[in-house]
Chain A
Amino acid sequence: MKRSNLVLVIDDDPAIVDAVRMLLELDGFATEGYSGSDVLGVITRLRPDLILLDVWLSGTDGRAVCQTVKRHATLNDIPIILISAGKDLSESAKNAGADDFIEKPFDMDTLLEKVHRLLSV
């Protein structure tokens, strides 16, 4: 963790965004949060090093967003961890091209572990 990577946290619930950002920042990451509807716009503008993306978004499906990003010419290399309250995530996450997934409510250590792993590559 020599340089501070930017992690973008996208969730409908600002509380989740807030809590996850606090956690990541404690670990030394730079973070941005977003709870709006222009998800792609934010990603394009910020170009984060990693995206924590909730599936259940207002107005859109996180998996569709994930798919779009992964097929995007310039954004496709950004690792994405899908977050969902559902349990049957693994398959759909794989289909959407996500690098990893985590179920709500998640354990913070697990989350940190997944973030570290993706960013160290």
Chain B
Amino acid sequence: MIRFDWNFYRQQITNSLPLQVAIAGLLITATMAIYIYASGREKEQLQFQNEVEHVQRAVTETMDVYLALLRATRGYIYTHEDITYESFSDFVAELQLRQVYPGVQGIGYIEVVDPLRKQQLEQTLHSQGWSDFSIHPLQNERAYYPILYLEPPDQLNQTALGFDMYSQEVRRAAMELARDSGEAVLSGKTTLLQQPDSAMQTGFLFVLPIYAGNDTPDTVEERRQRIRGYVYLPFRPEDFFSEVYKKNGSPRVNIIVYDGETEDAGALLYTSSENGTHKSRFRARGVIYNASRPWTVVYQSTAVSEAVNDTLPDRRLLPFLIALGLATTTLLFFISRTLVLARLKAERIQLELMQSQIALQSGEELTRMVMDSLPALIAVLDGKGTIVSTNSSWSNFMATFYGSETTHPFSVGDNIKVRLKTNTSLMGETFSARGREGLEKLLRGQLQQFVLEYPVTVKNGEEKWFLLVASALKHEGGGVVVSSTDITKLKRADQQKEEFLSIASHELKTPITSARAYVQVLQKILLQHKNKKVAPVLSKVLNQIEKMQLLISDLLDVSKIEAGKLRLNKQVFVLAELVSEVAEAMQLASETHTVRLRNESTAQVNADRERIGQVITNLIDNAIKYSPEADVVEVVCIDDGTHVQMSVTDFGLGIPKKDQKYLFKRFYRVRQMSQGGVYPGLGLGLYICNEIMQRSGGTLLVQSKSEVGSTFTFRLPILKET
């Protein structure tokens, strides 16, 4: 089954929101723009169509006016039996033709003339004043159709008089059609007689038949028999359409008019204006039938009218609207984009937060695992000393020795300060005395770290030793991490080592004592027997035994120091006297060096005379031992009122700076540079000296320079005499 992952799609939708907003905005903008444009266009189209209809109507109306003019003229002829040039001229003058019908060139009267009557007619007209009147051209034998009258009587019209209208095909066709139909007929395009040489010679004739009997016969046959003449209007398309335009008011459309039903360039009648290269926005085509004659009219919107439309308010607003739409869309796009980005960022931050929380949790888990895997007893206290966390070693130990698994005095939630105050016996004397104080100092922030070794007697009576390391937490609110390591085994091993050393040195001393005693007995016996050969040998044996004895003595001292069992038997004595004693003894023992003594003090000290003597011995002995090339050591004893000091200076190898700090450590021995080896000895002498000095309230210092020599100085406080 495919599961619909709504979150995924929601994410997709959210991410593409700005794009969607942009697309929607663009669509709305485009729709509105198109709507406004289209409605504007529609309005324009309507306007155009309106114009077209106006023009069409104007054409028809103008034509109707012309027709009415023809009918009026025919009516005049029907009602006046003997028309003369005079009366016709008066009638036309009454019409005010040029003023009222400016497109019309004139009104003409054509009479059907039997060839037999030609002479008579010409004479009649001659008598009426038209002396040069003659029917021309004489092509037709059956009848002539000359123009008898043509008004108004200007020069141009007069030249047409007498012209046989049948002699020209286009006119004849119109006239025959008019005769047969009894209606007015518009001729095809023809050349007007009035302007034979002019560029404006193109024109039309509007022809209406006149029948004998003064009415229109019912049948074609009768009409042919009774045809008597015609009245006609010659006019030029220029004049005609100017008239139409005048009626129409403003030229909002161009018109191109063709004679006939097609747009044939040869049949072009009229072009209202030169539209030039302008490509019209609207175009229409219509055929107008005027008195049975089709005219094809092409209508075009003019550049001017289009421009006028373009300045209409809604059309003008379009670019602003588009700009506004685009701006709004852009704005919305960026706003939604900002929102989506902000949201994505928020989601990312939330994710990171979750991840860091997970990391934090796993960090806590790791800490917990590390804590639980340690053999040390670990507890974390808050700033008030309340246990907030313990490791399993802690809780196991406490449960085993101080209670049950569920209740013991050092569980989480217990305050360690309260517990230690009320249960002083729990943690042993050492801890009660020093540990509590240290912890409180840590909690108060007076101490950064506190280290203590302490013994505890646990439930079953067993003594256990612990190394406590308590460290103050640095974060706000404080707190302490307490780590207690069981060092019982270490302590036991240490005790065993000390016991061993003590027993071993005791046991070693015993045979040495007896050996020495035996040798001395032997010496005495040999002396009594005056044996001079063996005695020196024995004294060498004795010497070696003494060295061994010293070594053992040092070992014993160290074991005492380690066990804290070095006891000083203090007594009051003058240090300088002891110095003299020892110096003299050393002088006796040394065959190589002179011990140069300078004693300038009489100060008394309260110390263990024997131990201080041991120190002096050691220092002088070292000075001799480590200056094999020299032959003197200097011993000086002085005081400054508060302290008395004794120094031993040798002129030997000196001790390198880097080695000086190790001088007072156990088992340290100075390397003999030249031979790469070390001086004999266990490396305990100075360590013991320093320990004795510290326990006597004094100090031991060294000053040394390589290849120059060393000075060891100890200072002891002077005992003030009261």
Which residues on A are within 8 Å of B, measured CB to CB?
12-13, 15-16, 18-20, 22-23, 26-27, 56, 85-88, 90-91, 104-109
Contacts and interface: CB of A to CB of B under 8 A. Distances in A.
Contacts of A19: 514, 517-518, 521
Interface of B: 505-506, 509-514, 516-518, 520-521, 524-525, 528, 545, 549, 553, 556-557, 567, 569, 610
A26 B514 contact: no
Q: Among the interface residues A13, A105, A107, which one has the most CB atoms of the partner chain B within 10 A?
A: A105
Contact of A104 (B509, B520, B524): B509
Contacts of A26: 521, 524-525, 528
A8 to B, nearest CB: 16
Contacts of B509: 85, 104-105
A108 B569 contact: no
Contact of A16 (B514, B525, B553): B514
7 closest Cβ contacts across the A-B interface? A19-B517, A108-B520, A15-B514, A105-B513, A85-B509, A104-B513, A22-B521
B516 A105 contact: yes
25 contacts: A13-B510, A13-B511, A13-B513, A16-B513, A16-B517, A19-B518, A22-B521, A26-B521, A85-B505, A85-B506, A85-B509, A86-B556, A87-B556, A87-B610, A88-B567, A88-B569, A104-B509, A104-B513, A105-B512, A105-B513, A106-B516, A107-B516, A107-B520, A108-B520, A108-B521
Contact of A18 (B506, B512, B514, B556): B514
Given A27-B524, A106-B516, A107-B516, 18 more contacts: A12-B510, A13-B511, A13-B513, A13-B514, A19-B514, A23-B524, A26-B524, A85-B510, A86-B506, A87-B557, A90-B610, A105-B516, A105-B517, A105-B545, A105-B549, A107-B520, A108-B516, A108-B524
B573 to A, nearest CB: 13
A31 to B, nearest CB: 12
A27 B520 CA distance: 12
Contacts of A104: 509-510, 512-513
Q: Among the interface residues B506, B510, B545, B569, which one has the most CB atoms of the partner chain A within 10 A?
A: B510
A16 B524 contact: no
Nearest to B513: A105
Contacts of A106: 513, 516-517
A86 B552 CA distance: 11
A94 B518 CA distance: 29
A108 B513 CA distance: 10
A27 B517 CA distance: 14
Contacts of B569: 88, 90-91
Contacts of B610: 87, 90
A12 B521 CA distance: 20
A56 B506 contact: yes
Contacts of A27: 524
Nearest to A105: B513
Nearest to A91: B569
A99 to B, nearest CB: 18
A23 B510 contact: no
A108 B521 CA distance: 8
B517 A108 contact: yes
Contacts of B557: 87
A78 to B, nearest CB: 22
B31 to A, nearest CB: 115
A85 B507 CA distance: 9
Nearest to A18: B514
A88 B21 CA distance: 102
Given A87-B553, A90-B569, A23 B513 contact: no
B469 to A, nearest CB: 35
B553 to A, nearest CB: 7
Nearest to A106: B513
A15 B511 contact: yes
A93 to B, nearest CB: 11
A18 B522 CA distance: 13
Contacts of A88: 567, 569
A27 B525 CA distance: 10
Nearest to B523: A108
Contacts of B511: 13, 15
A114 B447 CA distance: 57
Nearest to B512: A105
